[in-house]
Amino acid sequence: MIKRETFVDDILKEMREIINQMVPKEAKITEIEFEGPELVIYLKNPETVVKDGELIKNLAKVLKKRISVRPDPDVLLPPEEAEERIKNIVPAEAEITNISFDPSVGEVLIEARKPGLVIGKNGETLREITQKVYWAPRVIRTPPLQSQTIYSVRQILQAESKDRRRILRQVGRNIYRKPELKSDWIRITGLGGWREVGRSSLLLQTNESNVLVDFGINVAALNDPKKAYPHFDAPEFRYVLNEGILDAIIVTHAHLDHSALLPYLFRFNLYDGPIYATPPTRDLMVLLQKDFIEIQQMNGVEPLYKPRDIKEVIKHTITLEYGDVRDISPDIRLTLHNAGHILGSSIVHLHVGNGLHNVAVTGDFKFVPTRLFEPAVSRFPRLETLIMESTYGASRDYQLPREEAEKRLMEVILRTIKRGGKVLIPAMAVGRSQEIMMVLEEYARVGGMDAPVYLDGMIWEATAIHTAYPEYLSRNLRNQIFHEGYNPFLSEIFHPVANANERKDIIESGEPAIIIASSGMLVGGPSVEYFKQLASDPKNSLIFVSYQAEGTLGRKVQRGLREIPIVGESGRTEVVHVNMETYTIDGFSGHADRRELMNYIARLKPRPERVITVHGEAQKCLDLASSLHKKFSISTRAPNNLDAIRLR
């Protein structure tokens, strides 16, 4: 530890000398420190540097580090006074709706309905704000739906700013503990999600670094920890945790099978390092993690972790936008790219050992345009190994074209409504629900449907988070929202369900309706309650629009079981008689089907030397690996959990 601290201090000393030569003296440098993957320069007069657009770029080139300039905390106006001054500077026509402060980075976030007026002509208003309050302003458009999750995340970051800064500095010193290295070897170990769906987790190791990609749970196997949790018993993982040498965790996306167990690590003091994700992924995984433990509590099960552990996840998360390149250890550089799966989902690209090897982990991805997102990125600067999902990797796993899927969906819905029935669509709160919402909104708008759409579970809150990040949505949606002035998420056909009483009224109503409710596999949440109450009536319909994992209630219904025992809230088992019509429409999946998976490799630039197929049932992983090898003459593998593969 002494050697590490000495090296970091020495490198900072050298950098200070260079910075002092390049930065004007009137800027008054007070401190230079690594915070997370960035080098932060604190100044008494930051505006003298900010107004020189080329200075920061030149510093970054010379120092070969990501540079951030922040005001010295001592010069920041108190938040109350700063807020008053900002409101005096910005025209009232800008319609500011919220001002919040993040002392850990010296930033003030200004939400306004007309953000252009906050920025001012050529940025004049922003510069005036900086000069008068010293906080660095960041301006965003006021989201049309307010998200309680986003608000609570900001509140935590503000309240915990001192601890947050401590964490960032600790992370920064760990990243730059040694000069950039050429690694001697690289290996990966499957801790979960290899030849299976659920509990995704992968450990990547070099002779210097240890990085985890995802740490999820198999929700369908919660009664069996050996199948539900990643392999804590893997010798290399146990060693990394025991020695406290895990450098980073990277989260591809927010779904529970990729992110649910992160708070568990903090609960038992197994980890105290950074979590890297996009901003939407951070917010969505917090939403899903909170819901996960609330459902456990409602079912009389001791939650795996507490809200305070989710709070630790928030404090330790470092957000990156798509395309940002960051050092995360002495020999690993990270870039996140759009995966097209859900809001903020990422393909993880790791540049290892200063050119030794490049690895991409797709997580869950989609390779055709959808109503919500652009297709996954398929071009990388370099790529030797690709680790890709195989959820629909079997030779016959072809989904309906999206247009045909939408047509079939509406046929079932309109037929059910015509006979006075209700349509239940169990859907993941994040991604699939919003995709279906966009289909229903368009059909309602052009006059093809006239029925209320009820959104139950976390769906409305998840939708609010979608509206807060329009830049992550498809070009078509962005054009509708920004250029056409119409936000389809706000359609009057959508009605959030607030509580159990409203749910009961919807079920007992004689009126036809469409109900989108989580969870998508009928493993908890309001979708199960709707199913129990609606299943016996042949007028009703159930439509599956997502993958139903083995062992879930959804898979049993999908297979055609007509009498299904379900344990009720009282603990007693009741038999549900399934007389409602049931359908599976695969075309809405957020996963790439067999055709997309093969096309992805065909269009991938550059073509990797090796493809490793994971995140799929065993036969699907094997089938896809074999087909890729035959068609593209590249090395492929479909490893088991606990297999370790040396990449170099």
Instruction: For each of the domains in the chain, give its residue range(s) and CATH number, in order of start.
Output: 76-142 (3.30.300.20), 186-396+591-646 (3.60.15.10), 403-588 (3.40.50.10890)
CA dihedral 307, 308, 313, 314 (to 10 degrees): 90
For the record, the structure tokens of 513 come out as: 């309706």
Q: Do the strands 563-567 and 573-577 form a parallel or antiparallel pair, or are they unpaired?
A: antiparallel
3-state DSSP assignment of residue 511: coil
| Burial tier of 393 (Cβ tally within 10 Å: 0-12, 13-18, 19+) | buried
For the record, the structure tokens of 588 come out as: 């809405």
Preceding omega of 626 cis (within 30 degrees of 0)? no
For the record, the structure tokens of 557 come out as: 């219904």
- Percentage of the residues of the chain whose pLDDT score is greater than 90: 77
CA 104, CA 71: separation in Å to the nearest integer?
A: 11
Q: Which residues pair with 565 in a beta bridge?
A: 575
Give this prediction's pTM.
0.93
Locate tokens 């509708």: which residue? 480
Is the pLDDT at 147 greater than 90? The verdict is yes
CA 328, CA 332: separation in Å to the nearest integer?
A: 6
Q: Band the pLDDT of 2: cuts 50, 70, 90.
A: very low
Give the residue among 442, 425, 598, 612 at the shortest CA–CA distance from 513.
425
CA 453, CA 437: separation in Å to the nearest integer?
A: 8
Mean pLDDT of 370-379: 96
Q: What are phi and psi of 188, to 5 degrees?
A: -125, 150
Q: Which of 329-333, 351-355, 571-575 has the lowest mean pLDDT?
A: 571-575
* Alpha-carbon torsion (482, 486, 488, 490), positive or negative: positive
* Alpha-carbon torsion (38, 40, 46, 52), positive or negative: negative
Q: What are phi and psi of 357, to 5 degrees?
A: -160, 150
Q: What are phi and psi of 179, to 5 degrees?
A: -65, 160
Range with top average pLDDT, 21-30, 66-75, 513-522, 615-624: 615-624
CA 440, CA 431: separation in Å to the nearest integer?
A: 15
The string of pLDDT tens digits covering residues 385-423 is 999 999 999 999 999 999 999 999 999 999 999 999 999
CA 390, CA 622: separation in Å to the nearest integer?
A: 9
The string of pLDDT tens digits covering residues 270-291 is 999 999 999 999 999 999 999 9
Mean pLDDT of 329-345: 97
Give the contacts of 144 (CB within 8 A, at least 6 positions apart).
467, 487, 489, 490
The whole-number pLDDT of residue 360 equals: 98
CA 648, CA 646: separation in Å to the nearest integer?
A: 6
The whole-number pLDDT of residue 573 equals: 82
The whole-number pLDDT of residue 568 equals: 67
For the record, the structure tokens of 27 come out as: 């800027």
3-state DSSP assignment of residue 586: helix
How many Å is the Cα radius of gyration of the chain?
Answer: 26
Is the pLDDT at 1 greater than 50? The verdict is no
Q: Band the pLDDT of 6: cuts 50, 70, 90.
A: low
CA 47, CA 598: separation in Å to the nearest integer?
A: 52
The string of pLDDT tens digits covering residues 190-248 is 999 999 999 999 999 999 999 999 999 998 888 888 899 999 999 999 999 999 999 99
- Output the DSSP codes for 101-134: EETTTTEEEEEESSHHHHH-GGGHHHHHHHHHH-
Q: How far is CA 469 from the centre of its chain?
A: 12
**Could you tell me if 30 and 43 are in contact, meaning their C-beta atoms sit under 8 angstroms apart?**
yes
CA 62, CA 273: separation in Å to the nearest integer?
A: 28
The string of pLDDT tens digits covering residues 439-489 is 999 999 987 788 999 999 899 999 999 999 999 999 999 999 888 888 999
Is the pLDDT at 53 greater than 90? The verdict is no
